[in-house]
Structure 1
Amino acid sequence: MKKLLITTALSASLVAGAVQAQERVRWQVPMAFPSTLAGLADAMPWMADQMRAMTDGAIDLRVAEPGTVVPALAAFDAVSDGSIDAAYSWMGYELGSLPSASLFGATPFGLESIEYLAWLYFHGGRELMTEAYEPFNIHIIPCGTISPETAGWFRSELESVADFEGMRFRAAGIGGEIMMELGKSVTMLPGGELYQALETGVLDATEFSLPSADLQLGFYQVASYLYLPGWHQPSTNQALYVNMDSWNALNPQTQAMFETSCMAANAYAIAKAEAMQGPALIELEEKGAIINTYPDEFIAAFREAHNTVIARRSADDEMFARVYNSMMDFQALNRPWKEQGYLPRDWQTRIGE
């Protein structure tokens, strides 16, 4: 009987300890873009649902729409200064405060989504990301990588690279800086303001997101010419920003659940994004969009401007240079496999199917 009582007491203690370990978390998590934009903004709501399900509601991350808690592009500053516990955004918006963040968000001519995840988790990318954000009091968790963006919606067809001179264009991150190098007048506006800006002529052109998101926003109605490929964002990478004090207050079990759920969100995001883009392009054409592929002369001009911007940024910022060089080292290391291990993207055209 004594042994039974001891065993029962020990079991009860273990159960109580397990219950106690599952702490309760109630955070609002504002997003940089509307949760209704399918393919772009699905990962954070999905991740929050998984956390509620796994903890029977103990961890409740309440996704908030842009502007309801903080302005759409203010996630970085609000989390950094502790105004909010967490937020969800695209890392490219931090170009001014943290130049290397733009590379984590999207690197022109850089890593595609699967390569990016490989670099992130198995070639030192995550360690660099953590190091870059820590001085700003932010624990950063990669939490959603998606397909390439469209290269831009234009109100008139492009004849040559010279057409970019003076063009009023919305862009973000390093891609935007490259476009400025080509003579565009670049501004940064949230997605919700772009339709009206195109319609009223405030903008001549814009890039924003995936074909599926651009379709939802109706850009084809006010700028008929869509250009691909998304050279400026071969992958678009989003993250959960957590205030460092809020993060350190969590127990290790809860921290592990955040990390694991966001890793799962990366798989969810790229799978859903890829599933949607073919149908989105077909629908855009049916609605009258004129879809063009940039000629080689344009790509060459983008690349030349890219080299200029990257060299300038690397000379000015040591962390930027470290991140970019790490990405390029992995891209070169992976190139033989990427070029030889996969069928060429146009293989069906080549063999006449």
Structure 2
Amino acid sequence: MIPTYLTKFGTVAAAAALAVSLAPTDADAQERVRWKLHSAYGTNLAVLGPVPGRIAEMVSKMSGGKFDIKVFEPGALVGGNAYYDPVSQGAFEIAYGTPGYHQGRDSTYNLFSSWPFGPGVGAYLAWFKHGGGYELARELYAKDNIKFFMCGMIPPETSGWFRDEITSLDQLKGLKMRFFGMGALVMQKFGVSTQLLAAGDIYPALELGTIDATEFSMPAIDRSLGFYQIAKYNYFPGWHQQATTNEFLINMDAWNALSPEYQAMFETACDANFTAEFAEGENLQYQAMLDNEADGVENKTWPPEILDQLRAAWDEVNAEEIAKNPLYAKVWESWATFEEKYRVWGDRGYLK
């Protein structure tokens, strides 16, 4: 016969175990959160398009469905690139794009996105994470009540789609071209009239002749936008964007209202997306280039003498920006200081 005191103890222990099993976890205890996310890129766009949905799905799963982020296509809430002020003002909680879209506010944003003859993914990520880049970016965005997240990078882009073969930079004079970031200022040195169009606006402009040429992104992304149907000369390498960041901008009040658990979930999803997006970007390009060739596109490589001219023009542009913009100069000094140290490793660790 089991002693009475043991029976009572067993009953109490079982009840305690049951109570623990039924107690809410941290995720269960969290309040439900519903955010609206504006994407600068259509969800059907290769590599870039799936990113917001991927992050939203990860956050939802980690929170047991209680942290829900609804993704809106470009134009559903605001125009593709026009998300900075709405996030700052709290019109919606979060937006996805790239810092270079804000270059009209301050050229410094470009240094958190990409710049001509700039770093590849490895060096750029190292500067962001360990060389002070992240802190400088967050300081800039925080002035406008925005929490900045760098949630991914893509590999090098192509440097342009042209209707005619380019054998001399003199041929660029007078062209109207969609061009991104600091590279646009370089192209202007050669007489190009540049404009920054959102992804969905480029093909119609190219088709109608509003622009004569364009660049946008990597071959797989450009192919999904149909440039190969009009412009048959695609030039490499992407001297203007060797690596380009993705940003998620979050209204600071909305971010601060999240629990630490939900904040950690979002940051974890950001880090996970970096690997998924970069690997997909590297994987898809060769097939897109082969498919373009099958459709009559010539994949062209700039000769060294043209790249030298472009680099010299970039050095002029950069010096001009440093001279006239103290904030740009501050961020550039951070990068240049980091790069000098990094080259001890970078110049020796990699095959040229």
Q: 2:149: which partner in 1?
A: 141
Q: 1:306: which partner in 2?
A: 314
1:154-303 mapped onto 2 (5 Å cutoff): 154-303=162-311
TM-score (norm 1): 0.91
Greater CA radius of gyration, 1 or 2? 2
Q: Distance between the aligned counterparts of 1:176 and 1:247, measured in 2?
A: 34
Quickly say closer, same or farther: Cα 1:15–1:128, change in 2 above 3 A.
farther
Q: Distance between the aligned counterparts of 2:22 and 2:247, measured in 1?
A: 35
1:111 aligns with 2:119: yes
1:335 aligns with 2:343: yes
Q: 1:347: which partner in 2?
A: none
Shifted more, 14-23 versus 131-140: the winner is 14-23
Q: 1:92: which partner in 2?
A: 100
Q: Which blocks of at least 5 consecutive residues in structure 2 are unaligned?
A: 1-7
* Aligned amino acid, residue 240 of structure 1: F
CA contact (8 A) 1:28 1:64 kept: yes
Q: Distance between the aligned counterparts of 1:115 and 1:30, measured in 2?
A: 29
CA contact (8 A) 1:141 1:240 kept: yes
Q: Distance between the aligned counterparts of 1:279 and 1:16, measured in 2?
A: 49
Cα deviation, 1:249-302, whole Å, max 9, x if unaligned, reads 111111111112111111111111001111111111121111111112221221
CA contact (8 A) 2:28 2:64 kept: no
Q: Distance between the aligned counterparts of 2:298 and 2:159, measured in 1?
A: 13
Q: Which blocks of at least 5 consecutive residues in structure 1 are unaligned?
A: 345-353
Aligned residues: 344
Q: 1:124: which partner in 2?
A: 132
CA contact (8 A) 2:38 2:71 kept: yes
Quickly say closer, same or farther: Cα 1:112–1:310, change in 2 above 3 A.
same
* Aligned amino acid, residue 160 of structure 2: G
For residue 147 of structure 2, give the secondary structure of its aligned residue in structure 1: strand
Q: 2:331: which partner in 1?
A: 323
Structure 1 residue 236: deviation in Å? 1.2
| C-alpha RMSD of the superposition | 2.2
CA contact (8 A) 2:27 2:63 kept: no
CA contact (8 A) 2:96 2:249 kept: yes
Shifted more, 149-158 versus 174-183: the winner is 174-183
TM-score (norm 2): 0.91
Quickly say closer, same or farther: Cα 1:19–1:170, change in 2 above 3 A.
closer
CA contact (8 A) 2:176 2:193 kept: yes
Quickly say closer, same or farther: Cα 1:98–1:17, change in 2 above 3 A.
farther
Structure 1 residue 17: deviation in Å? 6.7
Cα deviation, 1:1-54, whole Å, max 9, x if unaligned, reads 79958x949965994472465332211111111111112223222111111111
Shifted more, 150-159 versus 330-339: the winner is 330-339
CA contact (8 A) 2:37 2:94 kept: yes
For residue 70 of structure 2, give the secondary structure of its aligned residue in structure 1: strand
CA contact (8 A) 2:235 2:302 kept: yes
Structure 1 residue 214: deviation in Å? 0.8
1:83 aligns with 2:91: yes
Quickly say closer, same or farther: Cα 1:247–1:293, change in 2 above 3 A.
same
For residue 136 of structure 1, give the secondary structure of its aligned residue in structure 2: coil
| 102, 110, 127: which one aligns with 1:102 | 110
For residue 143 of structure 2, give the secondary structure of its aligned residue in structure 1: helix
CA contact (8 A) 2:127 2:338 kept: yes
Quickly say closer, same or farther: Cα 1:339–1:280, change in 2 above 3 A.
farther
Cα deviation, 1:68-96, whole Å, max 9, x if unaligned, reads 11110111121012211111011100001
| 46, 53, 56: which one aligns with 2:64 | 56
1:22 aligns with 2:30: yes
Shifted more, 64-73 versus 190-199: the winner is 190-199
* Aligned amino acid, residue 125 of structure 2: L
Q: 2:3: which partner in 1?
A: none
* Aligned amino acid, residue 342 of structure 2: N
For residue 49 of structure 2, give the secondary structure of its aligned residue in structure 1: coil
Structure 1 residue 58: deviation in Å? 1.0
1:73 aligns with 2:81: yes
Identity score, percent: 40
Structure 1 residue 182: deviation in Å? 2.1
* Aligned amino acid, residue 305 of structure 1: A
